[in-house]
């Protein structure tokens, strides 16, 4: 900034940039040198649905209907119910029969909330060999499939990467949840080779999640930047375990903005379309 001094007096930053003849640059993009016109970064108002929430069927605090109503009241068009599967271990997970019974409750919620749409989804565990914790015939019935690593986070890089690669090649997977598995100040990132995962995700048409839980924020901003540069689309989700946690979408969006994401690069900044 010393090269630009003395700075003109102005009430707003945009006016300072205008007076200097410099294109306005959002604060998120000022961490590294930037040339030319900045891209129109994704805004919270661009988000049209949350694609990762939990209910009382697993470890959430609110019902399918309550989560759907809360998402609708935030102005969303859709929400995906993505409860855990049994291999998660620490909490209750849904079996194939449970997922199908939950589908009946989701259908009833849709009848009440229409035209808002509650999507049938799952946060299915990626098992150590790369297979998924629900059979393909069940996954094929769903609108949205989040694949997640929970156990075995300390696997060596080669094994972890092969494990996730295998899962992403399943034709029913929509998105990879919290890819690096970190919990801030409690668990470090796993050894997943993200560069390789970007290649596979692009090839398979799988999105990567920017998880809005305050103790995750995973992908991180620098990973978002690399994923977008590789051509991979991202999803801004909250991983909410209660209706009040839907407000954490702002944390996901701000992380995506720091990674330079535009609305066109965020899958749920558009209408839901079946894979």
Range 67-73 contact pairs with CB under 8 angstroms and sequence separation of 24 or more: 67/118, 67/240, 67/243, 68/109, 68/110, 68/113, 68/116, 68/118, 69/113, 69/243, 70/243, 70/244, 70/246, 71/116, 71/246, 72/113, 72/116
pLDDT for the residue 2: 62
pLDDT for the residue 6: 78
Portion of the chain with pLDDT greater than 90, in percent: 84
The whole-number average pLDDT for the span 14-30 is 86
Sequence ranges of the chain with CATH classification 3.20.20.140: 39-269
219-269 residue pLDDT tens? 999 999 999 999 999 999 999 999 999 999 999 999 999 999 999 999 999
CATH number of 39-269, picked from 3.30.70.100, 3.20.20.140, 3.30.1490.20, 2.40.37.10: 3.20.20.140
pTM for the model stands at: 0.93
Binned at pLDDT 50, 70 and 90, residue 164 comes out as: very high
Give strand pairing partners of 262. 41
- What value does the mean pLDDT of the chain take? 95
Portion of the chain with pLDDT greater than 70, in percent: 97
71-96 residue pLDDT tens? 999 999 999 999 999 999 889 999 99
pLDDT for the residue 33: 67
């Amino acid at each position: 900034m010393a090269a630009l001094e003395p700075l003109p007096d102005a009430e707003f930053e945009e006016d300072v940039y205008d007076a200097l003849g410099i294109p306005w640059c959002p604060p998120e993009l000022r961490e590294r040198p930037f040339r030319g016109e900045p891209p129109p970064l994704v805004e919270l108002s661009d988000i049209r649905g949350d694609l990762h929430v939990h209910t009382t069927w697993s470890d959430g605090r609110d019902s399918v209907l309550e989560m759907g109503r809360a998402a609708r009241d935030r102005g969303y068009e859709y929400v995906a119910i993505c409860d855990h599967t049994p291999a998660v271990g620490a909490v209750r997970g849904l079996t194939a029969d449970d997922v199908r019974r939950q589908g009946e409750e989701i259908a009833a919620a849709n009848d009440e909330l229409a035209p808002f749409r509650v999507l049938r989804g799952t946060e299915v565990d990626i098992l150590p060999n790369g297979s998924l914790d629900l059979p393909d015939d069940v996954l094929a019935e769903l609108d949205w499939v989040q694949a997640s690593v929970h156990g075995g986070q300390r696997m060596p890089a080669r094994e972890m990467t092969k494990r996730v690669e295998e899962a992403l090649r399943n034709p029913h997977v929509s998105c990879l949840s919290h890819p690096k598995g970190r919990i801030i100040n409690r668990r470090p990132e796993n050894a997943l080779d993200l560069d390789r995962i970007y290649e596979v995700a692009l090839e398979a048409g799988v999105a990567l999640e920017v998880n809005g839980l305050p103790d995750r924020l995973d992908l991180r901003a620098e990973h978002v930047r690399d994923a977008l540069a590789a051509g991979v689309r991202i999803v801004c989700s909250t991983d909410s375990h209660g209706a009040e946690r839907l407000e954490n979408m702002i944390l996901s969006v701000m992380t995506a903005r720091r990674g330079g994401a535009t609305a066109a690069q965020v899958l749920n900044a558009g209408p839901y379309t079946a894979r």
